């Protein structure tokens, strides 16, 4: 609340930063000054924190800095189940409605896995109604992340295949733990399934057409250094610095006046989001008929078996 109040009083605009005063001079806003002093390595002072949570989502809002940290918590591998996706949307809407929240750091509660991607058990052995509900929830989470007015930074503190990679791609900036054991990428073809057009669009917008063609066809999973090389992530940092780096990057992004940044983001992303919005129902039907095929169910069965039986 305090952030909006200061900027609205000063310029009559929605976001802080550098803006024109009535006299025509320019001044740095008090909020921006506070952000520059934001401690990036020690976390938030207790007094300004407001945590809330559900079974699978933990949120900690630092109201004085306008930044929330959202952690996925779905052991053992943070798979994106229907329940998690549903809880995600509810928590996200809560943050969108909180006028004091200008940025979200999206991360995982598990130390080694950001997210194992879509929960395969939600795509295997269920009925058409379940598949439709599940896919609608996947679409909703992507649309919320991709079109959010808030600054979204993915703090990728572990492996991030498929749907986990998609959540990162939908963020504004990606910071990954520099551990060669972790990988990130859209590996759908390895499961015998196909990344839908909007996964592909988001990837192409991020790393370009040729790199996407290569990565998607082969279902490549990139270790952090390679992900950085192709622009799949923006920064790699030692494992224990992921959260503090995310906080300091966030403070840089929040120096930009919200209204200007938001309009720019909309200009860049709306055509891609609209492509899905225009054919959302058809995309659900495509998914349901594709995933219900015997051959695809067989592939998923084999993949689950492979996961259970492979040597660790
Ligand atoms: C036309 C177009 C239309 C549309 C066409 C359709 C488009 C669909 C798009 C799909 C997008 C996706 O995200 S598909 C999901 C892709 N995800 C993946 O391939 C990741 C697979 N998982 C892994 O690689 C690993 O589990 C990893 C995350 C690195 C963690 O390794 P660990 O060694 O720590 O853990 P594991 O022992 O492997 O896993 C622990 C348990 O979790 C299970 N598990 C692992 N990943 C799981 C998952 N995604 N969903 C469910 N369960 C999972 C394992 O089977 C184990 O079960 P138990 O043995 O019983 O304990």
9-37 pLDDT, tens per residue? 222 233 333 332 222 222 233 333 334 44
What number is the ipTM of this complex? Answer: 0.98
Catalytic residue status for 118? yes
Q: Domain check: are 77 and 2 in the same one?
A: no
203 contacts 183 by C-beta, under 8 angstroms:
no
Based on the structure, what is the number of domains in the chain? 2
Name the catalytic one among 117, 158, 188, 254. Answer: 188
Domain identity same for 139 and 245: yes
Are 102 and 242 members of one domain?
A: yes
83 labelled catalytic: no
- CATH number of the domain encompassing residue 139: 3.90.226.10
> For position 43, what pLDDT does the model report?
55
173-177, strands of its sheet edge to edge = 49-53, 57-62, 67-72, 103-108, 151-156, 173-177, 235-237
- Looking at the structure, do residues 143 and 271 belong to the same domain, yes or no? yes
Same domain for 212 and 91: yes
State if residue 300 touches ligand 1 by the CB under 6 angstroms criterion: no
Asked about 78 being catalytic, the answer comes back as: no
Q: Do 26 and 68 belong to one domain?
A: no
Q: Domain containing 30: what range?
A: 1-37
Q: Are residues 29 and 94 in the same domain?
A: no
150-183 confidence digits (pLDDT tens): 999 999 999 999 999 999 999 999 999 999 999 9
Say how many Å lie between the CA of residue 199 and the centre of ligand 1.
17
Task: Please count the other Cβ atoms lying within 10 Å of the Cβ belonging to residue 265.
Answer: 18
pLDDT digits (tens, 9 = 90+) for 196-230: 999 999 999 999 999 999 999 999 999 999 999 99
Same domain, 303 and 182: yes
Residue 10 sits in the same domain as residue 122: no
**Residue 213, SS3?**
helix
Q: Which of 129, 166, 173 is nearest to 151 (CA)?
A: 173
Whether 24 and 123 share a structural domain: no
d(CA 245, CA 188): 30
For the entire predicted model, the pTM comes to: 0.88
Q: Which residue has the higher pLDDT, 275 or 14?
A: 275
Same domain, yes or no, for 33 and 69? Answer: no
Give the ligand 1 atom nearest the CA of 304: 55
Contact 211, 129 (CB under 8 A): no
**Residue 185, token pair as written in the block:** 């990428």
* Ligand 1 atom 19: residue of nearest CA: 161
- Tens digit of pLDDT for each residue in 113-142? 999 999 999 999 999 999 999 999 999 999
20/104 same-domain check: no
Enclosing H/E stretch for 61: strand 57-62
Whole-angstrom Cα distance, residue 110 to residue 87? Answer: 17
Does the active-site annotation cover 163? yes
**Closest CA relative to residue 125, chosen from 312, 300, 310:** 300
Is there an atom of ligand 1 within 6 Å of 121 CB?
A: yes
Question: Which of residues 14 and 302 earns the better pLDDT score?
Answer: 302
Q: Is the CB of 284 under 6 A from ligand 1?
A: no
Q: How far is the CA of 274 from the centre of ligand 1 (A)?
A: 29
Q: How many residues are present in the chain?
A: 312
């Amino acid at each position: 609340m305090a952030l909006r109040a200061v900027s609205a009083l000063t310029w009559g605009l929605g976001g802080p930063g550098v803006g024109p005063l009535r006299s025509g001079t320019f001044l740095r806003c008090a909020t921006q000054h506070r952000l520059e002093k934001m401690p990036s390595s020690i976390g938030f002072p207790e007094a300004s924190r407001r945590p809330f949570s559900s079974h699978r989502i933990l949120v900690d809002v630092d109201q004085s800095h306008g930044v929330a940290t959202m952690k996925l918590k779905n052991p053992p591998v943070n798979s994106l189940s229907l329940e998690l996706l549903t809880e995600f949307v509810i928590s996200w809407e809560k943050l969108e409605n909180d006028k004091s929240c200008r940025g979200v750091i999206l991360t995982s509660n598990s130390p080694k896995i950001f997210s194992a991607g879509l929960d395969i058990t939600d795509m295997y052995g269920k009925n058409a109604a379940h598949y439709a509900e599940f896919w609608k929830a996947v679409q909703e989470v992507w649309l919320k992340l991709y079109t959010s007015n808030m600054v979204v930074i993915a703090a990728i503190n572990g492996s991030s295949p498929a749907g986990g990679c998609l959540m990162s791609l939908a963020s504004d900036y990606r910071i990954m733990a520099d551990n060669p054991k972790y990988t990130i990428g859209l590996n759908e073809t390895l499961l015998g399934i196909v990344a839908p057009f909007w996964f592909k669009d988001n990837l192409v917008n991020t790393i370009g057409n040729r790199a996407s063609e290569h990565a998607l066809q082969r279902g490549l999973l990139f270790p952090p250094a390679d992900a950085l090389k192709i622009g799949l992530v923006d920064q790699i940092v030692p494992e224990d610095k992921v959260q503090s780096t995310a906080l300091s990057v966030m403070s840089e992004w929040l120096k930009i006046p919200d209204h200007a940044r938001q309009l720019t983001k909309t200009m860049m992303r709306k055509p891609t989001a609209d492509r899905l919005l225009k054919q959302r129902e058809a995309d659900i039907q495509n998914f349901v008929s594709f995933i219900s095929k015997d051959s695809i169910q067989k592939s998923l069965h084999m993949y689950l078996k492979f996961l259970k039986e492979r040597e660790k």
